[in-house]
Structure 1
Amino acid sequence: MMPLEALGADQQWRELAQSQGGRLGRVVQVDRGECEVMTDEGQIRVSSDSQRAQGDVAPVTGDWITVVPDLDDIPTVQQVLERRTLVVRRDPAEHARAQTLVANVDVVGVVHGLDRRINPAQLERFCVVAWQSGASVAIILAKADLRRRPERDAEKAAALAPGASVVVTAALRGEGLDQMTALLEGNRTLALLGPSGVGKSTLINALVGSEVQTTQEVRAGDARGRHTTIARRLIALPNGGSIVDTPGIRAVGPWDAWEGLAAAYAEIDALDQECRFAEDCWHQGQPGCAVAGNVDPGRLRRYLELANELADQDLDLARRRHE
């Protein structure tokens, strides 16, 4: 049985659980009304049904929780412990609502498969969501064996994601796995985000050393993948640390992500502080603007589109609060 420390438990988590008077556990997967939870005694099923659970916050994969028996002696979520990081996106079904993907990850890995060209707008949007979480960010370029010069893709990714580490992998050949393992040193948790078919599940299987995640071929016509991961699941690695595999995301919408926007476009944010027009400038060619002319026009355009999207989101939420 793997100790909870291998999944990231530390003294602070244990003290928080002790103060609540419950057993410490980490959520492996959430199903309707129940969670799979790893505890010191092993993995158990825990009721998270709102009529049984005592906490106000619904648990998600990666959460640290306390578990207590209810009146029927059924293990139940007592409390979701305060989250250190949280990966959130705009709910694709309801644009005025957030969708929490995973909690308490140390690194968010944005995965791109090199069987397709890098899409700058898509990569940058994922980075905004990743940085907003409060975790470190890594760009993971998978399927490098399908490219003649993957180092060029790594250079492009580094330019599009300042501050993020870049890891080039070819999982079926075992390439880049040492760098992936380094991201997990110290029993850290890595969440993988990306569209379907980019190689997330194949990469996890290579790191675990067995097929714990089902994989499928991508469509030959457009390089799009089929959904093989249908639920967010925390997977323990043999030598410590854990990975959260997530279902493929076709369109990622940031949610209340102004800090993530500033981090993903750090060079624009730095220039923005020097702009003579301050908050009144939208960096579209005004004389004296410190940003326009000093940033790649395409990157600046994508930044402004995201800033407008977040501003519209703020206005929409403000209107709803006053209705």
Structure 2
Amino acid sequence: MEETNSSSERGFLLLGFSDQPRLERLLFVVILVFYLLNLLGNTAIILVTCLDPKLHTPMYFFLSNLSWVDICFTTSVAPQLLVTMNKKDKTMSYGGCVAQLYVAMGLGSSECILLAVMAFDRYAAVCQPLRYMAIMHPRLCVSLASTAWLSGLVTSLIQCSLTLQLPLCGHRRLDHIFCEVPVLIKMACGDTTFNEAQLFVASVVFLVVPVSLILVSYGFITQAVLRIKSAAGRRKTFGTCSSHLLVVVIFYGTIIFMYLQPAKSRSKTRGKFVSLFYTIVTPLLNPVIYTLRNKDVKGALRALIVGNALGPRRP
């Protein structure tokens, strides 16, 4: 029992990429740049969706929620990672690890549900255009967004609490870039069968089920788009939906790789890069993809920038 409690007293050694000093220095710069761009890009989307009345629609309401999730998700990982990479002492406090574990998993789970909600919104817009505003009324939008946030919080409380009960037997070397459930399960010296089963069930609920619903939604969307006679109309609809679909493929593809395989069989180095991708890179891709492929957002951003540059007009 004394060995098990030592981890909570001394914390963990967050090794990250310390075994490759040159790579670590390069990644420090890359992560810092990506994090700052992530904050800038997602904050810009939140601002334009709030300030531009034309963007006060369900689609942009969910997009602003996605930006909030991405900002918080990356912030739960990147600052601590940058601090750890920039010092010789790689120690992370037990409390800091626990907080990161709960927050990162909760926000990652919320994003999984939110992307499925956005697919339903696109289905309603394309397949039920005449009834779209009746279906996606403000109360339903708020309820769906709240469900995404709360479901992530609940699964994080359950899964992380179960993981923290595992005996770590004094082992402090966390060979990863941040505190994550699969990595802590792999560190445990006791029987982890129940925890792996719980993680697998949670992964199915938050990964397989949303992906299945998204694929079904886009099946109906594809059928509806192919019935549009106008080539310009088809291109516009596909352009709007393809942005969301691209985000879905990138996000789910990397996170499924991390969570839908046995914890004991994961490659450490590959797992680090995969986690780095969906916590640092993907949140930046969201605003890039949506702004580059969306004329409404680009127009609103341009108007916001030009308006700030010119300043308030005098009467």
What TM-score do you get using the length of structure 2 for normalisation? Answer: 0.23
Higher relative CO (CA 8 A, sep ≥ 6), structure 1 or 2?
A: 2
What TM-score do you get using the length of structure 1 for normalisation? Answer: 0.22
The structure that is strand-richer by fraction is 1
